[in-house]
């Protein structure tokens, strides 16, 4: 009887799965999906198609790695700072679906090779008692050593060089059928690998492949093959032919290898695929985007970058100066140096994408990028700022909006950072579990950017377990971290943010001699359960800030610590707990 009921539920779930994509496929990027909001809400963070399940909250047989924020410990880089280790044959994690799903992403760690470079393995996957197959795993894209050592940045792949970090990576799997809510999906250790650590899984209903759009050139018509052979020339030739003929480029279902080290130049083109679960480009170098009115959507880029080399391009997209109105949406990017390095463009949009496991920034808007929007992206495990607005090279990146993104586990910098410039807005983002050398949100004059001008607005964000006690200068970084190191910081508006379970301090203000904070307003914020102080002002900070309706509760070391005789705290009323 139970088997018959399960069959009926699977049939009904499959019927929903078949009907739903006809609604979604008509306008990719325009629909609203369920929000994985815990502990956020529908107006904070990204709209995403998946539900996240933490391993420590699931049924499991194995070793619970208890909560830790100690740098170089595996669970310090896990979501919620906890995970489950599978060491013995038969150890498992069993996730019970709360919604139908036919696709899974598993966030995991496994040992490195003794000499570095990674090893391969797999876990068996079961739906109920039915063995579906295996999910293939590798540590090739994990394990960087001595990243924080003197002169070691950005680390190496040699275990002899020092302590490790970057423990986790992701692997994804289509489950075949659409399994109904209530189904147990189990990952089980059945091989001889010493251990696996499971952080979390994401489950979703992946829609079927999108159809080929009209007026398009398919890359297979130019010789692209989804069999491991290089399709670089085919993709490049298709792009050139489409530009000449006024047509778009179509990446069909399959995984197409883009070998080599030179990025493909794209000018005023539309490049699309059959969906992020179906059309994939793999390799090491991808797109230089020139000119205006480019659009990329509905495909995945999975790089083969194993560590950071700043002299290599190896970003999924490098957007060159001078263009406008470029749109990037419904993309999935992993294992590249950076997702987007954006230089001097305007009116650009990056939205509804997954950008994960980069060795540098997820998205960097730099060198005069202005009036652009970054929204509803799901991001994690970045080796530099997940999202940065950087007014470098004496060029002001201004008028940009970063909103409704979900960011998890930047392992070596901040969730969102603004370096100089003016009139940028950071709003309604959800940031979890910053690991080291950064805050949840960092407003900074570091790296000698264009001076702050106008206003920089930080409002409505929720920061959970962010900030760090690991710092180049030996000072804590707060969940919100204000820094005047290389020039003055002015025109900052910090309104209506929630800072929850801060690793050390909630708000930190840090400066250097001769640098001043001016025109700083901090209003209607709450600091909840800080591991250190609610508000901490370090020696060397100078200037002032105005505080009103700022609440501090449960701060382990007290509400306020102002160690600077040169910084004035202007209390305007309504403040509680400090």
Task: Return the domain boundaries, the chain.
Answer: 2-17+39-204, 252-511
% of the chain residues with pLDDT over 90: 85
CB-based burial label for 318 (10 Å; 0-12, 13-18, 19+): buried
Q: Between 43 and 10, whose confidence is greater?
A: 43
pTM of model > 0.85: yes
Query: In this structure, which long-range contacts are made by residues 12-18, counting pairs with CB atoms below 8 Å and at least 24 apart in sequence?
Result: 12/180, 13/100, 13/178, 13/179, 13/180, 14/177, 14/178, 16/100, 16/178, 16/205, 17/100, 17/102, 17/178, 17/205, 17/207, 18/208
How far is it, in rounded angstroms, from Cα 121 to Cα 110?
Answer: 8
pLDDT for the residue numbered 150: 65
Give the integer Cα–Cα distance in Å for 224 and 443: 45
Q: Pick from 513, 389, 494: which is nearest to 444 by CA? A: 389
The answer to whether 314 and 337 are in contact (CB under 8 A) is yes
Over residues 365-395, the pLDDT tens digits come to: 999 999 999 999 999 999 999 999 999 877 8
Can you tell me the mean pLDDT for 306-324?
88
Residue 500, token pair as written in the block: 């929850």
Residue matched to tokens 């370096």: 419
With CA atoms as reference, report the closest residue to 361 among 330, 327, 336: 336
Q: Could you tell me which residues are beta bridge partners of residue 123?
A: 135
Backbone torsions φ then ψ of 2, nearest 5 degrees: -60, -40
Give the model confidence (pLDDT) of 195-225 as tens digits: 999 999 999 999 999 999 999 999 999 999 9
pLDDT exceeds 50 at position 22: no
| pLDDT, position 151 | 67
Dihedral class, residue 236 (left if φ above 0, else alpha if ψ from -120 to 50, else beta): alpha
Domain 2-17+39-204 classified CATH 3.30.1550.10? no
Contact 121, 137 (CB under 8 A): yes
- Class of 252-511 in CATH: mainly beta
**Looking at the predicted structure, is the pLDDT value of residue 37 above 50?**
no
List, for residues 416-469, the tens digit of each pLDDT value.
999 999 999 999 999 999 999 999 999 999 988 999 999 999 999 999 999 998
Q: Look at 179 and 154; give whichever has higher pLDDT.
A: 179
pLDDT of 575 reads 98
b/e burial code for range 32-46 (CB count within 10 A of at least 16 → b): eeebbbeebeeebbb
Whether residue 20 is predicted with pLDDT greater than 70 in this model: the reply is no
Longest dimension (CA), the chain: 77
47: confidence class by pLDDT, cuts 50, 70, 90: very high
| Nearest-angstrom CA–CA distance, 555 and 179 | 44
In terms of C-beta density within 10 A (0-12 exposed, 13-18 middle, 19 or more buried), how is residue 362 classed? Answer: buried
Q: What is the mean pLDDT of residues 38-50?
A: 74
pLDDT of residue 351: 98
Compute the mean pLDDT over every residue in the chain, rounded to the nearest whole number: 91
pLDDT of residue 451: 94
Q: Are 414 and 453 in contact (CB under 8 A)?
A: no
Q: Is 67 helix (H, G, I), strand (E, B) or coil?
A: coil
| Angle of CA points 65, 77, 56, to nearest 5° | 35
> pLDDT at position 42, please?
52
Burial pattern 374-411, b for ≥16 Cβ within 10 A else e, equals bbbbbbbbbbbbbbbbbbbeebbbbbbbbbbbbbbbbb
């Amino acid at each position: 009887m139970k088997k018959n009921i399960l069959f009926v539920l699977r049939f009904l779930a499959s019927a929903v799965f078949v009907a739903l994509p006809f609604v979604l496929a008509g306008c990719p990027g325009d629909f609203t999906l369920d929000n994985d909001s815990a502990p956020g809400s529908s107006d904070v963070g990204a709209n995403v198609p998946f539900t996240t399940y933490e391993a420590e909250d699931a049924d499991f047989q194995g070793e619970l790695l208890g909560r830790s924020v100690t740098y170089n410990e595996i669970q310090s880089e896990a979501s919620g700072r906890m995970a489950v280790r599978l060491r013995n044959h038969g150890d498992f994690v069993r996730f019970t679906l709360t919604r139908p799903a036919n696709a899974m992403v598993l966030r995991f760690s496994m040992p490195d090779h003794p000499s570095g470079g990674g090893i391969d393995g797999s876990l068996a996957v079961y739906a109920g008692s039915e063995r579906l197959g295996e999910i293939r795993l590798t540590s090739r894209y994990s394990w960087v050593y001595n990243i924080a050592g003197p002169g070691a940045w950005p680390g190496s792949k040699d275990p002899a060089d020092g302590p490790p970090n970057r423990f986790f990576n992701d692997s994804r799997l289509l489950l075949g059928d659409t399994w109904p809510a209530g189904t147990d999906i189990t990952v089980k250790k059945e091989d001889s690998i010493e251990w696996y650590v499971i952080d979390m899984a994401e489950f979703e209903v992946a829609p079927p492949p999108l159809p080929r759009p009209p007026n398009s050139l398919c890359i297979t018509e130019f010789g692209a093959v989804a069999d491991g052979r290089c399709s670089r020339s085919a993709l490049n030739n298709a792009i050139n032919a489409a530009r000449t003929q006024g047509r778009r480029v179509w990446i069909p279902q399959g995984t197409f290898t883009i070998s080599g080290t030179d990025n493909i130049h794209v000018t005023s083109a539309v490049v699309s695929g059959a969906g992020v679960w179906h059309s994939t480009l793999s390799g090491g170098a991808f797109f230089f985007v020139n000119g205006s009115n480019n659009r990329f959507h509905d495909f995945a880029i999975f790089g083969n970058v194993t560590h950071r080399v700043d002299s290599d391009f190896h970003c999924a997209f490098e957007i060159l100066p001078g263009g406008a109105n470029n749109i990037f949406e419904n993309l999935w990017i992993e294992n590249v140096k950076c997702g987007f390095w954006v230089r001097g463009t305007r009116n650009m949009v990056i939205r509804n994408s997954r950008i994960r496991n980069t060795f540098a920034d997820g998205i960097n808007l730099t060198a005069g990028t202005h009036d652009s929007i970054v929204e509803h992206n799901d991001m994690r495990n970045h080796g530099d700022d997940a999202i940065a607005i950087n007014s470098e090279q004496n060029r002001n990146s201004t008028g940009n909006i970063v909103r409704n993104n979900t960011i998890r586990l930047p392992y070596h910098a901040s969730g969102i950072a603004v370096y100089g410039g003016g009139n940028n807005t950071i709003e309604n983002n959800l940031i979890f579990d910053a690991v080291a050398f950064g805050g949840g949100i960092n407003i900074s004059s570091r790296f000698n950017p264009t001076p702050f001008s106008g206003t920089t607005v930080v409002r409505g964000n929720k920061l959970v377990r962010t900030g760090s006690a690991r710092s180049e200068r030996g000072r804590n970084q707060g969940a919100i971290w204000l820094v005047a190191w290389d020039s003055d910081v002015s025109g900052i508006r910090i309104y209506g943010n929630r800072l929850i379970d801060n690793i050390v301090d909630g708000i930190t203000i840090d400066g250097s001699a001769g640098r001043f904070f001016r025109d700083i307003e901090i209003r209607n914020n709450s600091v909840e359960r800080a591991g250190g102080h609610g508000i901490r002002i370090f020696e060397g900070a100078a200037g002032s800030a105005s505080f009103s309706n700022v609440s501090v509760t449960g701060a382990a070391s007290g509400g306020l610590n102002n160690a600077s005789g040169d910084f004035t705290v202007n209390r305007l009323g309504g403040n509680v707990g400090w």
